[in-house]
Amino acid sequence: MLVLSRKKNESIVINNDVVITIVEIRGDKVRLGIVAPKDVSVHREEVYEAIHGSKPQTVAPATNATALPD
């Protein structure tokens, strides 16, 4: 798992077409804004499990993933 630190209004980009932005941080809750193509499904994990009857499959970590400093 790649772990990144972000502040309010900062974003990460996944696969050139998914952008996740930190919208608000309130106590122990973080609100995320997600922009993705219409053909990409985005669900909370518990909703995904209700739809599919199982947890999402995880991909083995990439050996060349690099986390950049904040």
Amino acid (one-letter) located at 34: I
pLDDT tens figures, 14-34: 999 999 999 999 999 999 999
**Cα 70 from Cα 67, distance rounded (Å):** 9
Predicted local confidence at residue 34, as pLDDT: 98
Stated pTM of the model: 0.74
Could you tell me which of 14, 19, 17 has the C-alpha nearest to residue 2?
A: 14
